[in-house]
A and B are shown apart, each in its own frame.
Chain A
């Protein structure tokens, strides 16, 4: 064999244990907070700070190793496989919540309004989506959010951001750094605009439409699905900002930029989840 492809095995690292301590503190803090122990928020914040320290340190080391030329083509393939499988795990996470939505709409609600239930349990409850009155009358009336206002604009924003990101990628491939920076900047701006509109929409829902997380099963599925999506957009936008900062520092070459591609994959994944959300949560 003339050419030997070398593997990369990192030195011992202290970052993982910081991550573990961070999650222990965050879990403890969250449990305390939910159960009204006064130290909860403080412990949670401490844990989050530890997590941020760990993420900075760990990713910083990975970036230094990458820019130092330690990652050969073997490592590159490993990164590709792992990012793909990570996104698949995220798909399955959303699948759980989409599954809950479909189950409720197709099975649970018709069952609750069936003759047996009407007669013995939930008097006169009739299944319709979005539910106006919950079976146990525990939900105040609310108005759902229509699809063709802010949600439709948000769909356009996210789809456009996918296009600008691809345009930025072309810039990177053609060594056109200006196009790369502008494309990334536009993508981040569109993502942040999306998030701002989402926050506005939530405020509108809470203050004007009386649509809350506690608005029965509609509020549960609506806010959990769009909320977790919003969280993923936030994570994706944060990663894009890191990529933009790295681009400004001169990182990435046309043939060596998997970090960029991984974030782009993630961004497109978030985009696709939104399309499903738009259709089944807002529209249908």
Chain B
């Protein structure tokens, strides 16, 4: 590439005289972090709809007691695939999409550290999705072992299970490459002068998330590899008759699975930590404590995994250890919630759509956090294990937590990505419909779980009928509300009001959409006051405001 030898003052458009494919090939061959970010986000939205259709089929079946719409075998496939599609297809890729778009802009890098590998990280996902969704067509159907794929059930399934195992391998490879890219970009591509503690908090949360991904995705790969060899090559990892142990699978899986929970929520914390200060017109309260809290959560996430297995059987000392370690996580999480509230305290707050979703996030995520604490208490967990209480808990943290943060981030950064304002009316409608229907769907599940309704079962006893009917109505409302989101995004992408240029607020940064190509010279960090600094990288690009702590 000759372009990098050019004098930087020449203007970047002339540098890239090499061929740039157009049409579909542009997206297939792209090495541009914004293109790849958009690909991630659209992919995750498509998977979100696919997983959503599965969820609605589940809810339709559960509208009334008895079997109406689907066979129990297919119902089990739906619960399994809904979980896997939402976790690996919707939530995780959406956050990687945000990382791709925002991290290079926020730290003043021209692109990700490894732009070609970045492309591969994305283009592995459609391959995994083909295997995942294609497994419905395999003889015997998709895996019906639950998203956790517990042995021995997962050792017994048909060809769909094998497709799922390879899909997990490929998604793992994608995640590991993506995470290495993000770590390297953040550690090595920051603009001169931007120390780690001056980075926007979103970068910090992603740095720590990427570390978690690199540490646990290989362990998941190992777990499903053991499953594969148990299925086809005669090993006895999870077979007690050969000296193995099915509980071993649970340990290996949850050693991955619990950090995975934080992989899906830490970037959400980062997005919310960018939005709350903007709409409170105050710098983030307790920046350093936010960084330490995020790190503490990540470290603790490695020593709490067996709280998913209290009923599987373990010594009382083990139960006590995992119970107390789990409850300890409430401390750094509480630090974060209090910091967000303190940021809003006495701020000049306005409630545009991103702020609505961010404040909604704090309310509803905190409820999910509290039910998590309740689940952590061993004797209570033995009662509510595998009931709808657990379903309610993790949907409060994953839908109202991760998903609402994704919505918040989308509305917050869409104007930067497209150069146009989103439709505020549609955005607010989307928020209120989402949060109301979300609670109609999942709040009754707490009562169902406390009353003993088991999860992953297509039929239920008559006394659960009313709450289930309410939840189903809420679910369809929630599903339809997401079409408002699609409309709002499409309208914004297609055009609309120019993005306002505010001055004197923390959102003063660039004048229009971020140009596709940016110079390959470092940006400059300008200190404007003791609490604010800006990045500039020469015309026409200027970067995001960052939140310097002091």
Residues of B within 8 Å of A208, CB to CB, are: none
Task: Count A/B pairs, Cβ under 8 Å.
Answer: 241
Binds A, one of B44-52, B73-81, B179-187, B334-342: B179-187
Query: Is A92 touching B214 in the complex (CB atoms < 8 A)?
Result: yes
Query: Is A82 touching B113 in the complex (CB atoms < 8 A)?
Result: yes
Query: Is A35 touching B110 in the complex (CB atoms < 8 A)?
Result: no
- For residue A67, CB closer than 8 A to chain B, the reply is no
Residues of A within 8 Å of B460, CB to CB, are: none
Query: Is A85 touching B233 in the complex (CB atoms < 8 A)?
Result: no
Residues of A within 8 Å of B28, CB to CB, are: 14, 17
- For residue A108, CB closer than 8 A to chain B, the reply is yes
Give bound CA distance, A97 to B244, whole Å.
13
Query: Is B214 touching A89 in the complex (CB atoms < 8 A)?
Result: yes
Q: Which of B121-136 contact A (CB under 8 A)?
A: 123-124, 126-127, 130-131
Give bound CA distance, A28 to B456, whole Å.
29
Contact of B114 among A12, A82, A112, A216 (CB under 8 A): A82
State how many angstroms separate the Cβ of A221 from the closest Cβ of chain B. Answer: 8
Query: Is A135 touching B240 in the complex (CB atoms < 8 A)?
Result: yes
State how many angstroms separate the Cβ of A30 from the closest Cβ of chain B. Answer: 7
Query: Is A7 touching B521 in the complex (CB atoms < 8 A)?
Result: yes
Give bound CA distance, A6 to B169, whole Å.
36
Q: Which of A10-25 contact B (CB under 8 A)?
A: 10-17, 19-21, 23-24
- For residue A5, CB closer than 8 A to chain B, the reply is yes
Contact of B127 among A9, A23, A31 (CB under 8 A): A23
Residues of A within 8 Å of B126, CB to CB, are: 20
- For residue B229, CB closer than 8 A to chain A, the reply is yes
Query: Is B29 touching A9 in the complex (CB atoms < 8 A)?
Result: no
Query: Is B240 touching A136 in the complex (CB atoms < 8 A)?
Result: yes
Q: Mark B211-248, 1 if CB is under 8 A from A, else 0.
A: 00011111101110110011111111101111111011
- For residue A104, CB closer than 8 A to chain B, the reply is yes
- For residue A174, CB closer than 8 A to chain B, the reply is no
Query: Is B183 touching A85 in the complex (CB atoms < 8 A)?
Result: yes
- For residue A34, CB closer than 8 A to chain B, the reply is yes
Query: Is B8 touching A4 in the complex (CB atoms < 8 A)?
Result: yes
Query: Is B248 touching A9 in the complex (CB atoms < 8 A)?
Result: no
- For residue B522, CB closer than 8 A to chain A, the reply is yes
- For residue A53, CB closer than 8 A to chain B, the reply is no
Give bound CA distance, A21 to B124, whole Å.
9
Residues of B within 8 Å of A21, CB to CB, are: 127
Residues of B within 8 Å of A8, CB to CB, are: 1, 4, 520
Residues of A within 8 Å of B19, CB to CB, are: 11-12
- For residue A103, CB closer than 8 A to chain B, the reply is yes
Query: Is B20 touching A12 in the complex (CB atoms < 8 A)?
Result: yes
State how many angstroms separate the Cβ of B141 from the closest Cβ of chain A. Answer: 14
Which single residue of chain A is at the shortest CB-CB distance from B18? Answer: A11
Query: Is A35 touching B522 in the complex (CB atoms < 8 A)?
Result: no
Residues of A within 8 Å of B223, CB to CB, are: 96
Give bound CA distance, A4 to B369, whole Å.
47
Query: Is A85 touching B520 in the complex (CB atoms < 8 A)?
Result: no
- For residue A276, CB closer than 8 A to chain B, the reply is no
Contact of B233 among A23, A134, A214, A216 (CB under 8 A): A214
Query: Is B115 touching A92 in the complex (CB atoms < 8 A)?
Result: no
Query: Is A27 touching B520 in the complex (CB atoms < 8 A)?
Result: no
Contact of B236 among A7, A15, A86, A216 (CB under 8 A): A216
The listed residue with most A CB atoms (<10 A of its CB), out of B130, B218, B522, is B218
Contact of B218 among A1, A96, A104 (CB under 8 A): A96
- For residue A220, CB closer than 8 A to chain B, the reply is yes
- For residue A151, CB closer than 8 A to chain B, the reply is no
Query: Is B1 touching A136 in the complex (CB atoms < 8 A)?
Result: no
Query: Is B242 touching A9 in the complex (CB atoms < 8 A)?
Result: no
Residues of B within 8 Å of A213, CB to CB, are: 229, 233-235
- For residue B189, CB closer than 8 A to chain A, the reply is yes
Give bound CA distance, A14 to B176, whole Å.
21
Contact of B234 among A58, A103, A212 (CB under 8 A): A212
- For residue A270, CB closer than 8 A to chain B, the reply is no
Contacts A4-B522, A20-B126, A89-B214 known; A100 to B226 CB distance under 8 Å?
A: yes
Residues of B within 8 Å of A89, CB to CB, are: 176, 180, 214-215, 217-218
Which single residue of chain B is at the shortest CB-CB distance from A27? Answer: B166
Query: Is B237 touching A100 in the complex (CB atoms < 8 A)?
Result: yes
Contacts A17-B28, A85-B180, A85-B214 known; A96 to B233 CB distance under 8 Å?
A: no
Contact of A220 among B113, B170, B236, B255 (CB under 8 A): B236
- For residue A88, CB closer than 8 A to chain B, the reply is yes
Contacts A9-B31, A85-B183 known; A219 to B235 CB distance under 8 Å?
A: yes
Query: Is B235 touching A17 in the complex (CB atoms < 8 A)?
Result: no
Contacts A12-B21, A34-B162 known; A93 to B245 CB distance under 8 Å?
A: no
- For residue B111, CB closer than 8 A to chain A, the reply is yes
Residues of B within 8 Å of A199, CB to CB, are: none
Query: Is A6 touching B520 in the complex (CB atoms < 8 A)?
Result: yes
Contact of A35 among B30, B159, B216, B244 (CB under 8 A): B159
Give bound CA distance, A34 to B159, whole Å.
9
Which single residue of chain B is at the shortest CB-CB distance from A220? Answer: B235
Q: Which of B505-539 contact A (CB under 8 A)?
A: 520-522
Contacts A16-B116, A17-B123 known; A104 to B245 CB distance under 8 Å?
A: yes
- For residue B252, CB closer than 8 A to chain A, the reply is yes
- For residue B119, CB closer than 8 A to chain A, the reply is yes
Residues of A within 8 Å of B521, CB to CB, are: 4, 6-7
The listed residue with most A CB atoms (<10 A of its CB), out of B117, B119, B131, B179, is B119
Give bound CA distance, A97 to B166, whole Å.
18
Query: Is B127 touching A112 in the complex (CB atoms < 8 A)?
Result: no
Give bound CA distance, A101 to B234, whole Å.
17
Query: Is A103 touching B188 in the complex (CB atoms < 8 A)?
Result: no
- For residue A77, CB closer than 8 A to chain B, the reply is yes
Residues of B within 8 Å of A112, CB to CB, are: 240, 243, 245
- For residue B432, CB closer than 8 A to chain A, the reply is no
Q: Which of A249-274 contact B (CB under 8 A)?
A: none
Residues of A within 8 Å of B364, CB to CB, are: none
Query: Is A220 touching B119 in the complex (CB atoms < 8 A)?
Result: no
Contacts A136-B242, A220-B229 known; A65 to B127 CB distance under 8 Å?
A: no
Query: Is B120 touching A19 in the complex (CB atoms < 8 A)?
Result: yes
Give bound CA distance, A245 to B234, whole Å.
40
Query: Is A108 touching B115 in the complex (CB atoms < 8 A)?
Result: no
Query: Is A99 touching B111 in the complex (CB atoms < 8 A)?
Result: no
Residues of B within 8 Å of A14, CB to CB, are: 28-29
Query: Is B30 touching A12 in the complex (CB atoms < 8 A)?
Result: yes
State how many angstroms separate the Cβ of B197 from the closest Cβ of chain A. Answer: 19
Residues of B within 8 Å of A139, CB to CB, are: 236, 242-243
- For residue A226, CB closer than 8 A to chain B, the reply is no
Give bound CA distance, A7 to B110, whole Å.
7
Query: Is B1 touching A216 in the complex (CB atoms < 8 A)?
Result: no
Residues of B within 8 Å of A28, CB to CB, are: 131
- For residue A120, CB closer than 8 A to chain B, the reply is no
Since A7-B110, A24-B131, A104-B248 are in contact, a sample of 11 more A-B pairs with Cβ atoms closer than 8 Å, ordered by chain A residue number, is A7-B111, A11-B1, A13-B29, A27-B166, A34-B232, A96-B221, A96-B255, A112-B245, A136-B242, A217-B236, A220-B242
Query: Could you give 15 example pairs across A and B, Cβ below 8 Å?
Result: A13-B116, A15-B116, A27-B163, A27-B166, A30-B162, A34-B162, A89-B176, A89-B217, A95-B218, A95-B219, A103-B245, A108-B243, A108-B247, A138-B236, A212-B234
The 7 closest A-B pairs by CB, nearest first: A136-B241, A96-B222, A214-B234, A217-B243, A16-B120, A220-B235, A27-B166
